[in-house]
Amino acid sequence: MPLQAVIFPGQGSQYVGMGKDLYEQSPKAREFFEKADAILGFALSKGCFEGPEVELRQTKNTQPAIFVHSIALVDLVGGLCGAMTAGHSLGEYTACVFAGALRFEDALRLVQLRGNLMQRAGEDQPGTMAAVVGLEESVLDAVCSEASDVGVVQCANYNSPGQIVISGSVPGVRKAMEMAKDRGAKMVKELVVSGAFHSPLMKSAREDLQSALRSTQIFEAHIPVYSNVTGMPVRVPEDIRKSLARQLTNPVRWAQSIRNMIADGASTFVEVGPGKVLQGLVKRINGSVQTLGLDRFEDIGRFPGADVHTE
């Protein structure tokens, strides 16, 4: 029987103006943004709606912004059904809320802490990331292994076939970039980021986040959450806790997660949150599945059970 999977974006999908139409046209969405502002202690909503972009791009702001936008959309679409779920990096927290494993308020506090810790780790242990297109996973893994002679570098995001992001120290990543070009990569581009995410340079952030996760109540998930770290479904609280901590220093195995979800019956993927990045990745992983997006207020009416009440 065909099943629907719900997926949530991570950092990089943000844009100035995100959520503004939801806030203006739905009292329920307005409540979410106002509650988030109160919990966070600053006007996240203003940053989402007005920017400036340079502020919104800061990790400590980007992560709660995407999270709140995505959860507000989930709440508005009361009939959004998913037999399974996953989220890219930060999006795994949103997926855990969708699956009933985390409360909104607890997840928001974790996401705020995670963003702050990652930004601080990036300042304390400067690093960079680069996108590599056109190389097989095994080839790029070998490149990173060889380039590690000059500095930390590893594959950080296995996004789709032939699209992988590497992460680590500036010397390590730049050496791997040179080697990837020599091995025939179609495109190699250094990314504008504030740290070497999903690499060992995030170790300090992981240690502090683990402590917060230990003191946060996590419930058994109602539906499987496909882990970034393993690509496999998890539901047990301790497994979820470990996955959320490990993903800071481990690669995001997104392509593997999507393949496993398809193997487990998913034929439709609904991306909930800003942008269309994940829809594009899913199509590159398997072009036969259907993809849908839920980002703006005008998208909501396409889903059953939607609350489109306006004042």
pLDDT, average across residues 25-37? 94
Determine the pLDDT at residue 80.
86
pLDDT digits (tens, 9 = 90+) for 216-250: 999 999 999 999 999 999 999 999 999 999 999 99
Catalytic residue among 89, 167, 169, 227: 89
pLDDT, average across residues 112-131? 96
Distance in angstroms (rounded) separating the CA atoms of residues 229 and 246: 7
CB burial string 142-165: b at 16+ within 10 A, e below: ebbeebbeebbbbbbbbbbebbbb
Whole-model pTM over 0.85: yes
pLDDT, average across residues 191-196? 90
pLDDT digits (tens, 9 = 90+) for 34-90: 999 999 999 999 999 999 999 999 999 999 999 999 999 999 987 788 999 999 999
Determine the pLDDT at residue 226.
98
Distance in angstroms (rounded) separating the CA atoms of residues 185 and 102: 40
267 is catalytic: no
Nearest to 50 by CA among 40, 61, 41, 63: 61
pLDDT digits (tens, 9 = 90+) for 136-193: 999 999 999 999 999 999 999 999 999 999 999 999 999 999 999 999 999 999 998 8
> Residue 306 — very low, low, confident or very high, per pLDDT cuts 50/70/90?
low
Percent of the chain scoring above 90 in pLDDT: 92
Distance in angstroms (rounded) separating the CA atoms of residues 3 and 25: 31
Structure tokens at 220: 């058994």
Domains (ranges, CATH) in the chain?
3-123+200-300 (3.40.366.10), 127-190 (3.30.70.250)
pLDDT, average across residues 262-269? 97
Determine the pLDDT at residue 24.
95
Instruction: Please determine, for residue 310, whether its predicted confidence score (pLDDT) is greater than 50.
Output: no
Distance in angstroms (rounded) separating the CA atoms of residues 220 and 102: 9
89 is catalytic: yes
Catalytic residue among 45, 70, 198, 199: 198
Instruction: Please determine, for residue 96, whether its predicted confidence score (pLDDT) is greater than 90.
Output: yes
